[in-house]
Amino acid sequence: MKTKIYSIKEKNLRIEPNLKDYNKVYKNFKWKDAEKEISFFSNGKLNAAYNALDRHVEKNGNKIALYWESEKEKKKYTYKELSILSNKFANVLKKLGVKKGDRCYIFLPRTPELYISFFGILKIGAIATILFPAFGSWGVEQRAKKAKPIVFVTNSELYERIRKMKNKPKNIILTDSDSKISFKKEMQVASSEFNIEKMNKDDEMLLMFTSSTAGTPIEGIVITHYAIVQQLITARYVLDLHKQNVYWCTADPGWITGVVYGILAPLINGNSIISYEGRFDAQKWIDILADYKVDMLYTAPTALRMLQSAEPKIPKLNLRHVCCVGEALNPEAIEWAKKKFGLIVHDTYWQTETGAMMICNFPCVPVKEGSMGKPVPGIEAEIVDKNGKILKDRKEGDLAFKPGWPAMMKTVWENKKMYNSYFRGKWYITNDRAYRDREGYFWFVGRASEIIKTAGERVSPFEIESTLLEHPAVAEAAVIGKPDKLRGEIIKAFIVLRNTKIGIGDKLIEDIQQFVKKKLAGHAYPKEIEFIDKMPKTRSGKILRRLLKAKELHLSLGDTSMLEE
């Protein structure tokens, strides 16, 4: 299939982008220069919370930092208000004996208390962990076992999941009840003055749990305060955040995208951010974009497909730029957004372990539909073989980065062996398969563990899924490799239909198979197709293909705590 290329002219840029000349900046970029955008204390130390809130107070203290909305009410908080409230919460923690390096967990929906407590934790020098509110008691307990938090900030509903734990943390702070430590009562008496902890560059800031890139479940990835240098620069270069923007990142703060690009980076840049505490509703999302005059949207390909399927009424919007993350961006989502928003969606690639964006599409660079884009300035990316040897252009291999970028994980919590497994020679190995074209664009092939080998051919699940999504009957698609004695593996597709009333039968299956054969390749069509009502996915939008495969092969489902309800 011929690749569509969208020129810079086609992007309809309304304002000049922060990054004007990618090649020039990439060639001359130094992280030391990027540090100038961050506020350091006189002794070379820093604090992410100071950069996100306190440093804005003198000049822009009355600017709205957070627009918060639930299904019942709305609130807004200025930078000054969040600075004072986070100071008060830091004093609450100090009263409880929390000190630098202690682990503090936040287990809340997207309420204002989540943001207040998060920055209070960082101000005292403790390590913050935000847990996805859909976790069940088992999921919470497993993550608590890993790092043994001394404080849990939660509400009375979610506390029921903590209460069942065998070894509960000493301090339980409830945001809506006095039955434990009362958030409201303690905040009322806490001082609004706090002497913020000055942190070294390599001091721990975040402990984020993920099913690791290396393939093991629930590992704790440690990110340092120095990561904010890269997080800020990528917010400017990739998300193209300008200080006057109202910005919405739809990811839950329980995931790395939600905390880094939903909270830290935009506030460090001085933006106004949106937080919506509510289930996905296509029309509500569009209304939020319209009501708050959102300028920039960072979301997931799945969310775009869900918007597409729902067909909401879309008024004239202020939207200027859209980026995606979470899984590979299929061309169909780009086409829909171009038609409905008049914008080209820009894909971004990174991992929990990388701490910030690594390969992206930039406003000042043409977009090749389906490509991951080019490396972020300061990032050296290559495609390597199993021995760490750099491969030539157009050769598929392991996507790798040269270590040393500011946001790179410091370690895997209490698992040095696992941390070391990420590296091969002088390279950090992502465990993603990719290739680079002659113009320097990188192309995602698939997770190393998900590449399908059928009849001697290597097939990318992403390519098949992207093709399936172009079929007019298909709303969502996920592809797995299923063991087969003759071919090694066959391709099986799970499909959610746009119209549930459509007749499901051999004729539809054959039509979809022939569509893929003609559009993609004769060997790359799904020999089996199963129609399902709903895809298993995380609330951040990632389709959990491993669950589909486990059910198909009657294997253990493993950790399902991140599964959307």
Alpha helices in 314-460 (DSSP H): 331-341, 416-420
211 pLDDT tier (thresholds 50, 70, 90)? low
Least confidently predicted of 228-242, 274-288, 325-339, 424-438 = 325-339
Give the torsion through C-alpha atoms of 505, 506, 507, 508, to 10 deg: 60
Cβ distance 76 to 68 under 8 Å?
Answer: yes
Quick one: pLDDT at residue 560?
62
Alpha helices in 148-242 (DSSP H): 156-163, 183-189, 228-237
Please choose, from the candidates 68, 433, 380, 119, the residue with its C-alpha nearest in 3D space to the C-alpha of residue 267.
119
127 pLDDT tier (thresholds 50, 70, 90)? very high
463 pLDDT tier (thresholds 50, 70, 90)? confident
Quick one: pLDDT at residue 28?
98
Pairing label, strands 411-412, 423-424: unpaired
Quick one: pLDDT at residue 467?
85
* Torsions phi, psi for 485 (to 5 deg): -60, -35
Please choose, from the candidates 433, 449, 257, the residue with its C-alpha nearest in 3D space to the C-alpha of residue 354.
257
406 pLDDT tier (thresholds 50, 70, 90)? very high
Examine the pLDDT at 449 and tell me if it is beyond 70. Answer: no
User: Which uninterrupted H or E stretch holds 74?
Assistant: strand 74-78
User: Which uninterrupted H or E stretch holds 274?
Assistant: strand 272-277
If one counts every other C-beta atom within 10 angstroms of the C-beta of residue 414, the result is 13
184 pLDDT tier (thresholds 50, 70, 90)? very high
Write out pLDDT tens, residues 10-45.
888 899 999 999 999 999 999 999 999 999 998 999
Quick one: pLDDT at residue 235?
98
3-class secondary-structure state, position 53: helix
Supply the DSSP string of 445-483, one letter for each residue: EEETTT-EEETTEEE-HHHHHHHHTTSTTEEEEEEEEEE
Supply the DSSP string of 94-129, one letter for each residue: HHTT--TT-EEEEE--S-HHHHHHHHHHHHHTPEEE
Write out pLDDT tens, residues 307-361.
988 888 999 999 999 999 987 777 778 888 999 999 999 999 999 999 999 999 9
Q: State the average pLDDT over residues 499-514.
A: 85
Q: State the average pLDDT over residues 89-96.
A: 98
If one counts every other C-beta atom within 10 angstroms of the C-beta of residue 44, the result is 10
Q: State the average pLDDT over residues 264-278.
A: 97
3-class secondary-structure state, position 353: helix
Q: How far is CA 364 from CA 94, 227, 439, in A?
A: 46, 24, 15
3-class secondary-structure state, position 207: strand
Examine the pLDDT at 293 and tell me if it is beyond 80. Answer: yes
User: Which uninterrupted H or E stretch holds 208?
Assistant: strand 204-210
Cβ distance 372 to 399 under 8 Å?
Answer: no
Which distant-in-sequence residues (6+ apart) come within 8 Å of 24 by Cβ? none
pTM, to two decimals: 0.85
Q: Which two tokens stand for residue 258?
A: 């939600």
d(CA 345, CA 274): 20
216 pLDDT tier (thresholds 50, 70, 90)? very low
Write out pLDDT tens, residues 470-486.
899 999 999 988 887 76
Quick one: pLDDT at residue 442?
97
Examine the pLDDT at 372 and tell me if it is beyond 90. Answer: yes
* Per-residue DSSP letter, 90: H
* Per-residue DSSP letter, 218: S
The number of C-alpha atoms within 13 Å of 447 and in the hemisphere containing its C-beta is: 16
Q: State the average pLDDT over residues 479-502.
A: 83
Q: State the average pLDDT over residues 553-557.
A: 77
Write out pLDDT tens, residues 145-161.
999 999 999 999 999 98
Quick one: pLDDT at residue 212?
47
Please choose, from the candidates 239, 258, 206, 224, the residue with its C-alpha nearest in 3D space to the C-alpha of residue 38.
224
Q: State the average pLDDT over residues 508-523.
A: 84
Quick one: pLDDT at residue 498?
87
458 pLDDT tier (thresholds 50, 70, 90)? low
d(CA 529, CA 531): 7
Examine the pLDDT at 53 and tell me if it is beyond 70. Answer: yes
Q: What angle do CA 522, 525, 527 make, to 5 degrees?
A: 120
d(CA 86, CA 72): 24
Domains of the chain: 47-60+73-200 (3.40.50.980), 450-552 (3.30.300.30)
Top mean pLDDT of 59-68, 203-212, 519-528, 546-555 is at 59-68
Please choose, from the candidates 113, 121, 65, the residue with its C-alpha nearest in 3D space to the C-alpha of residue 91.
121
Percent of the chain with pLDDT over 70: 94
Percent of the chain with pLDDT over 90: 70
Q: Tokens 């943001």 correspond to what residue?
A: 115
Examine the pLDDT at 403 and tell me if it is beyond 80. Answer: yes
